Every structure is written in structure tokens, then in C-alpha cells.
């Protein structure tokens, strides 16, 4: 009989299992995939944004949901503690722009492997290709789980404590398919509606086909819902067959998704020249025109102002042919160009599914969990950690820190 069974060998589960084992518990970590930490291994485009080094008050501002609940777990094991742990485990880390922390090697595998070794060094038993299908309770207490083993047979394993660290439903190919929500629901927990967060946004703009591969840096974006600005962000944005993405789009996506679910009108307005006022931009355009030959095309002026992907969309938006001679461009058309450069409007009509979402919003209600222990307030001996909880944050290393902090606290098995 084990002291604790941890379900899910992701960031939260690995941390919880290692913590419990270091505290002298006999731990079984059950993972339905063939290896641990699959989502960690692909995170940060394969580099793994481990955490964010911002001070606590700034860190908290990036927690989108239940920040007060998370504050306790973060106080117990914060970003500095995470950095110290990984460096103690032999992973050198670098702090980059925006206080984002990455492995010096640039390899997410180093983080995943360090966590697996951390578990094995503390004698955690890991069972791969093992899918838990039911949580066992008696008189409001945990007494184990049933599971399907790698041969396809159902078996039972007993334990007085179970930690659910199954993740959400983002990137389901890594094993995050919402199992934890089912388990929690079966024992009486309430699940806040789950939806994609930090996900690409889909636009109905008629010229979107020209934008695939476009990447814009240092832009200002405003998310507008029902004609009201609800979010402003500065940074990078990009376009692909998945939709509008990049750090700026991902940061506003949570608000956009919620608005779209509520069937509200949503648009993203991009200022491609935030450092210039309209007057300054007008002066620059006139300077560019003065240096051009009269028989040069309007497209050549646009190319001096924006990347080539945007030439056709802007010309269409202005209703000006890209092959018009520059000498024929009117002051009214220049004013329209300025308005577009300072506020290119993209109607947002949909969002990318969970397959492309970085994290899941929603999950097990935090007011049904003891924030000082991560133990269920409904079932004794049941704990939650990581993305299965209704906690999510902005992009930038915050969501992995949520997993590490809550996993660490759950693994302490405080009563």
C-alpha cells in the first residue's frame, strides 16, 4: 500500500511526487502516456519558459484567475525557489527579456528530465502507460484508485492520499484530455467551464490570406468588445494558419474567448507605428514620397512603411490599387493610410481550439479546495495541483510556476 498516488506526470505531478517522497512518503506516480513531462518538453517552442523572475506583487498581477487563492502556494514555493531548485538539480538557467526564465541550453527536455530524475532519486515509483479511470472513496475519504494497466487489464491500487495533477485539456496530444475534471466531478466537485486560454484568435478579415507568416514587432494592440476597449498590450504579434498569435494576441485571447462565448462583437485593433503620432507619421510619409520618382508605384511607398505581407491588405483596405503611380495619391488617401497604420482593424470571429491553446481556463473550483494544503474540502485525502485547478495566467512563465507551486504544496500532504 502506498502513502500517496499522484495522477499525472506533468510539471505539477512530478513536483508533487518528488516532494512527497522527499518527506518520507511511499509514492506511486501514474502516467497514462509512455513518458513523463510531455507538455513540458514542447513548452516555450521547445525551450521551456520555466518561470518568471518578477517580484511577488508584479507576479500576482499576471495571474488571471484566483490570484488570492494561489498567493499562499506561491509564498510557500515561489519563483526564486524554483530557480534555486533547478540549478541545484544541475540545470543552469538564464533570465531573459521580460524576466522570463529559460534553461541556458535552450532545451525544454533538460527541465523535464531534471524533474523525472528528481523523482527517481527520491525513490518515486513511476508507472507509465497506466490510465487511472476512477477515484475510490469511502465515507468521504480516499482509499485508492482503479486503473487500466499497459496490458489493458483493470486493476486497483490503495492509498490514503491521491493527488490529481492531470492538467487541463490544452495540447491533448500530450495526454491532457480532461481526466481530472471527470474524477473531480465524480466525487462531488464543481467544475468551472473550461475554455482555451492563451490561444490564437481567428479573424474574418477578407485579406487574411496575405498575412500568413507575417510577424510584427513593437506594435500596440487594443482588444475591443462591443465598442469598448477591454485590454491593451504592447509587443509582438504574428499570423499563421492557426490565426493571430504571438505574445500580444495570446495575452488578450482570454478576454476575447470569454466575449465570443457570450456572443459579443470582438475586434483587435493594431497600431503598427505606436512610437509615432499621426502628425509625425504624416511628415514621414511626405518625406518618403518626396524621395520617390513620380512613376513609382503606391506599393513601393507601402513597402517603405510596412512588411511586404501587408502591402496588398492595406491597399485593399484603402481601396487604392497597389500599382497606382505615387504622383496620383491624394492627401485624402494619405490620411486614410495613416488611420490604417495607426489602427488596422481585425474582426475576431473565433478562436483556435484546445489543440493550439497554451493553457486551459476554468477547472476545479478553488473555493472547494483548501488553499493552505491543496486538499479537497469535500473528500479527505484528495489533493489537486496544476492546471486542473481554476487558475490560469498570462504567458511568460507564470503558468508553469502555478504548476510548481501548487504541486509542491500538495506534495507536502498537510492535513
Domain ranges of the chain: 2-196+358-411, 200-352
User: Pick from 31, 30, 25: which is nearest to 1 by CA?
Assistant: 25
- pLDDT of residue 270 exceeding 90, the answer is yes
Distance (Å, whole) CA 390 – CA 194: 9
d(CA 136, CA 139): 10
In whole numbers, what is the pLDDT of the chain averaged over residues?
96
CATH, range 2-196+358-411:
3.50.50.60
Query: Are 2-196+358-411 and 200-352 equal in CATH topology?
Result: no
Yes or no: say if 309 and 210 are a contact pair by the CB < 8 Å rule.
yes
Q: What is the pLDDT at residue 173? A: 84
Q: What is the pLDDT of residue 343?
A: 97
CATH T-level topology, domain 200-352: Helicase, Ruva Protein; domain 3 (1.10.8)
Instruction: Please report which confidence band the pLDDT of residue 299 belongs to, taking 50, 70 and 90 as the band edges.
Output: very high
Mean pLDDT value across residues 261-278? 97
- Kindly report the three-state secondary structure assignment for every residue of 244-301: EECHHHHHHHHHHHHHHHCCCCEEEEEECCCCCCHHHHHHHHHHHHHCCCCCCEHHHH
pLDDT in the model for residue 193 = 94
pLDDT digits (tens, 9 = 90+) for 356-413: 999 999 999 999 999 999 999 999 999 999 999 999 999 999 999 999 999 999 999 9
Which burial class, exposed, middle or buried, applies to 228 when counting CB atoms under 10 A from its CB (0-12, 13-18, 19+)? Answer: exposed
Q: How many CB atoms lie within 10 A of CB 23?
A: 14
Average pLDDT of the residues in 76-97: 97
**d(Cα 375, Cα 17) in Å, to the nearest integer?**
15
Read off the pLDDT of residues 226-267 as tens digits, 9 standing for 90 and up.
999 999 999 999 999 999 999 999 999 999 999 999 999 999
Q: Say what the pTM is.
A: 0.91
Query: In the predicted model, what is the mean pLDDT of residues 296-317?
Result: 94
The neighbour count for residue 399, using CB atoms within 10 Å, is 29
Residue 346: which of 208, 252, 250, 225 has the closest Cα?
Answer: 208
Least confident interval from 144-148, 295-299, 339-343? 295-299
Q: Please provide the DSSP assignment of 128-161 as one string.
A: -S-EEEEEEEETTEEEEEEEE-TTS-EEEEEEEE
Region 125-139: mean pLDDT is 97
CA distances 61 to 69, 74, 75, Å, are 13, 13, 15
The residue-averaged pLDDT of 177-200 equals: 95
Higher pLDDT, 176 or 262: 262
Mean pLDDT for 114-142 is: 97
Amino acid at each position: 500500500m502506498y502513502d500517496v498516488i499522484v495522477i499525472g506526470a506533468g510539471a505539477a505531478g512530478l513536483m508533487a511526487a518528488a516532494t512527497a517522497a522527499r518527506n518520507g512518503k511511499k509514492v506511486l506516480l501514474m502516467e497514462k502516456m509512455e513518458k513523463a513531462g510531455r507538455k513540458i518538453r514542447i513548452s516555450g517552442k521547445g525551450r521551456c519558459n520555466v518561470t518568471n523572475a518578477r517580484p511577488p506583487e508584479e507576479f500576482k498581477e499576471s495571474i488571471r484567475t484566483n490570484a488570492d487563492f494561489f498567493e499562499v502556494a506561491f509564498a510557500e514555493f515561489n519563483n526564486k525557489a524554483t530557480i534555486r531548485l533547478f540549478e541545484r538539480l544541475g540545470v543552469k538557467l538564464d533570465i531573459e527579456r521580460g524576466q522570463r526564465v529559460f534553461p541556458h541550453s535552450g532545451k525544454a527536455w533538460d527541465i523535464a528530465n531534471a524533474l523525472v530524475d528528481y523523482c527517481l532519486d527520491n525513490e518515486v515509483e513511476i508507472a507509465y502507460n497506466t490510465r487511472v479511470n476512477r477515484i475510490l472513496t469511502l465515507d468521504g475519504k480516499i482509499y485508492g484508485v482503479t486503473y487500466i494497466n499497459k496490458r489493458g487489464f483493470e486493476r486497483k491500487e490503495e492509498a490514503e492520499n491521491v493527488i490529481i495533477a492531470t492538467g487541463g485539456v490544452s495540447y491533448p496530444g500530450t495526454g491532457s484530455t480532461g481526466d481530472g475534471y471527470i474524477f473531480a466531478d465524480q466525487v462531488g466537485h464543481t467544475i468551472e467551464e473550461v475554455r482555451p486560454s492563451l490561444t490564437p484568435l481567428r479573424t474574418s478579415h477578407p485579406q487574411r490570406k496575405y498575412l500568413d507568416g507575417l510577424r510584427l514587432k513593437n506594435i500596440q494592440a487594443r482588444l475591443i468588445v462591443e465598442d469598448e476597449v477591454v485590454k491593451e498590450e504592447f509587443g509582438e504579434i504574428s499570423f499563421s494558419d492557426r490565426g493571430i498569435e504571438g505574445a500580444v494576441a495570446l495575452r488578450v485571447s482570454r478576454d476575447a474567448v470569454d466575449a465570443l462565448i457570450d456572443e459579443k462583437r470582438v475586434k483587435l485593433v493594431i497600431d503598427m507605428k505606436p512610437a509615432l503620432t499621426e502628425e509625425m507619421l504624416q511628415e514621414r510619409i511626405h518625406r518618403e514620397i518626396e524621395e520617390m520618382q513620380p512613376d513609382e508605384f503606391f506599393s513601393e511607398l507601402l513597402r517603405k512603411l510596412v512588411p511586404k505581407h501587408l502591402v496588398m491588405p492595406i491597399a485593399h483596405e484603402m481601396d487604392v490599387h497597389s500599382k497606382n503611380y505615387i504622383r496620383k495619391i491624394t492627401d485624402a488617401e494619405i490620411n486614410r493610410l495613416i488611420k490604417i497604420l495607426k489602427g488596422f482593424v481585425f474582426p475576431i470571429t473565433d478562436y483556435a481550439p484546445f489543440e493550439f491553446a497554451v493553457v486551459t481556463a476554468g477547472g476545479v473550483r478553488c473555493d472547494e479546495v483548501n488553499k493552505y494544503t491543496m486538499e479537497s474540502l469535500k473528500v479527505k485525502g484528495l489533493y489537486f495541483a496544476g492546471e486542473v485547478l481554476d487558475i490560469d495566467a498570462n504567458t511568460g512563465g507564470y503558468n508553469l510556476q502555478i504548476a510548481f507551486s501548487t504541486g509542491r504544496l500538495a506534495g507536502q500532504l498537510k492535513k
